[in-house]
């Protein structure tokens, strides 16, 4: 049996939306070390990146294969390091007040 195309697309979009909205299996949910309130800890959707890049795009530098190994700060990201190597408005969308909650997902 073949599923009608709109249904397949709908299921795909539903999956993508779920991925963006909350942490799913395989996401790295960062633990905030400094206990800063206000901004919830960032979530890294690993699979979204894995389907686009080879592992060595990120491992072993700048990221070790161990959740929480790297201390990530917004200063570093805005200097174009770590997540900011790609999230710079060129390779991927930029860090701005419109995008805070794409990484910092409310629980
Ligand atoms: C590309 C993803 C991404 C975006 C966009 C982003 N952040 Fe972050 N941010 C992170 C990661 C990863 C960390 C480290 C883990 C953590 O502390 O949540 C972090 C850490 C932080 C921290 C704690 C450490 C520090 O540097 O002070 C604050 C506060 C913060 N972000 C606020 C913001 C605000 C406000 C925005 C929007 C202007 C924003 N972030 C946008 C990924 C992002
Ligand atoms: C776009 C960047 C990126 C790509 C591509 C990527 N990873 Fe990761 N990976 C990360 C980040 C960021 C972390 C969390 C590191 C940290 O918290 O310091 C991580 C963590 C991990 C961890 C530890 C997870 C845990 O829960 O402790 C493993 C294992 C891992 N990656 C394997 C892989 C493999 C295998 C591939 C290729 C199929 C891959 N990664 C591709 C960025 C990436
Ligand atoms: C090697 C490049 C690269 C690095 C490093 C990288 N990203 Fe991404 N990221 C991308 C690309 C490309 C996309 C897809 C952009 C798009 O759809 O416009 C993406 C998408 C995302 C999304 C949206 C996922 C969705 O469901 O649509 C989030 C959230 C995100 N990245 C967070 C992070 C965080 C947090 C880090 C650092 C821990 C990081 N990224 C590091 C390239 C990267």
Per residue in 8-67, pLDDT (tens digit) is: 555 544 444 444 446 667 788 888 765 566 789 999 999 999 999 999 999 999 999 999
Judge if the beta carbon of residue 19 lies within 6 A of ligand 3.
yes
Give Cα 27 distance to the centre of its chain.
Answer: 8
pLDDT attached to residue 32: 75
Which one has a higher pLDDT value, 105 or 20?
Answer: 105
Domains, the chain, in order of start with CATH, read 23-102 (3.90.10.10)
DSSP 17-38: HHHHHS--TT-EEPPPSS---S
pLDDT attached to residue 102: 95
Read off the pTM: 0.88
The answer to whether 68 and 30 have CB atoms below 8 angstroms apart is yes
* Residues whose beta carbon lies within 6 Å of some atom of ligand 2: 28, 44, 46, 49-50, 53, 55, 57-59, 63-70
Identify the residue whose C-alpha is closest to ligand 3 atom 39: 83
Q: Write out the H or E segment, with its range, that includes residue 74.
A: helix 74-78
């Amino acid at each position: 049996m073949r599923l009608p195309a709109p249904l397949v697309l709908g299921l795909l979009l539903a999956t993508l939306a779920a991925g963006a909205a909350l942490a799913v299996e395989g996401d790295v949910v960062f633990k905030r070390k400094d206990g800063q309130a206000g901004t919830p800890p960032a979530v890294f959707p690993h699979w979204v990146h894995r389907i686009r890049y080879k592992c060595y795009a990120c491992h072993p530098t700048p990221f070790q294969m161990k959740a929480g190994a790297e201390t990530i700060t917004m200063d570093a990201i805005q200097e174009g390091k770590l997540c900011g190597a790609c999230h710079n408005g060129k390779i991927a969308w930029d860090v701005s007040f419109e995008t805070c909650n794409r990484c910092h997902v409310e629980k």
